[in-house]
């Protein structure tokens, strides 16, 4: 009887250990990839954190665009904000010339990579322009 209990306990421990390793590896594979703005086109459909310098902030009536690295049309990546979410980004113009990370699913719009921003939690300022770093 003791051997049966010992075997069942051992089997339970092995099973729990296998579940832990599966969940750990699943967590690693579900983590978003970290890429530069110029690499975004190669990762359409992926959850990602895209890093780059905001070259242009284009605030329009129907859409706001954060163009990375260069002004449109030479920009390799765009973060897009639709009107229903603009209240989440009250000072979006201040991101110009700053290095930021945006997170979300990379989609293609007219064969160009973009992430749609719906929450300010998707944007993180990494470093500011030369002027803002001198003010600190």
Q: Are residues 2 and 69 in the same domain?
A: no
Q: Are residues 46 and 18 in the same domain?
A: no
Q: Cα(126)–Cα(101) distance, rounded to whole angstroms? A: 7
Which DSSP category does 89 fall into? -
Phi and psi at 3, nearest 5°, equal -65, -40
For residue range 11-64, what is the model confidence (pLDDT) as tens digits?
445 455 545 444 444 445 689 999 999 999 999 999 999 999 999 999 999 999
Rg value, the chain, Cα: 22
For residue range 113-126, what is the model confidence (pLDDT) as tens digits?
999 999 999 999 99
Q: Are residues 21 and 79 in the same domain?
A: no
pTM: 0.73
3-state secondary structure of 7: helix
Q: Are residues 27 and 61 in the same domain?
A: no
Range of the domain at 19: 1-31
Q: Are residues 40 and 20 in the same domain?
A: no
Phi and psi at 111, nearest 5°, equal 65, 20
Distances (CA, A) of 109 to 77, 80, 125: 11, 11, 25
């Amino acid at each position: 009887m003791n051997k049966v209990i010992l075997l069942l306990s051992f089997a339970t421990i092995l099973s729990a250990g296998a579940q832990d390793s599966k969940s750990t590896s699943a967590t690693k594979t579900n983590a978003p990839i970290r890429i530069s703005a110029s690499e975004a086109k190669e990762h359409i459909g992926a959850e990602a954190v895209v890093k780059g310098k905001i070259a242009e902030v284009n605030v329009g009536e129907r859409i706001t665009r954060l163009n990375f690295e260069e002004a449109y049309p030479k920009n390799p990546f765009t973060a897009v904000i639709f009107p229903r979410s603009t209240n989440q980004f009250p000072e979006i113009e201040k991101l110009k010339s700053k290095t930021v990370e945006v997170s979300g699913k990379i989609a293609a719009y007219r064969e160009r990579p973009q992430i749609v921003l719906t929450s300010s939690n998707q944007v993180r300022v990494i470093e500011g322009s030369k002027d803002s770093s001198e003010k600190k």
